[in-house]
């Protein structure tokens, strides 16, 4: 084994063992990552969107009209 790639080799072997070896784990991993990514992506883009459109959207002005 090449000494230079030892760390990387170890890492990829462990990734393979924990995630890719069993298809069930792989599939669950895909779905879990998709959920996590979508939540994180939506949160981030929504926050940016709301900052871009500050004081223009209904949620920014509705406090003036509801008691």
Partner 1 sequence: MFTRLSGQVVKRPLKQWVNAFMQARGVSGTAGAPQSNTKAIAATAAVATTAAAGLGYYFYANPIHANMEEEGLHPPAYPWSHRSLFGTFDHASIRRGYQVYREVCSACHSLDRIAWRNLVDVSHTEDEVRAMAEEFEYKDGPNEIGDYFERPGKLSDYMPRPYPNDEAARAGNGGALPPDLSLMVKARHGGCDYIFALLTGYVDPPAGVEIREGLNYNPYFPGGSIAMARLLYDGLVEYDDGTPATTSQMAKDVTTFLAWAAEPEHDDRKKMGVKAIIILSAMTILSIWIKRNRFASLKSRKFLYAPPK
Q: Would you tell me which residues interact with partner 1 (CB under 8 A)?
A: 41-42, 45-46, 49, 52-53, 55-58, 60-62, 64-66
Shorter beta-carbon distance to partner 1: residue 16 or 48? 48
Counting Cβ atoms within 10 Å, is residue 29 exposed (0-12), middle (13-18) or buried (19+)?
middle
**Phi, psi at 35, each rounded to 5°:** -60, -50
CB of 28 to partner 1, least distance (A): 22
CA 59 distance to own-chain centroid: 26
Shorter beta-carbon distance to partner 1: residue 9 or 50? 50
Shorter beta-carbon distance to partner 1: residue 31 or 58? 58
Query: Which residue in the block uniquely carries the two structure tokens 């940016």?
Result: 48
């Amino acid at each position: 084994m090449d000494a230079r790639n030892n760390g990387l080799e170890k890492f990829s072997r462990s990734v393979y063992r924990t995630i890719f070896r069993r298809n069930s784990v792989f599939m669950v991993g895909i779905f879990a990552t998709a959920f996590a990514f979508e939540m994180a992506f939506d949160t981030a883009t929504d926050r940016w969107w709301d900052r871009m459109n500050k004081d223009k959207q209904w949620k920014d002005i509705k406090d003036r009209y509801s008691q």
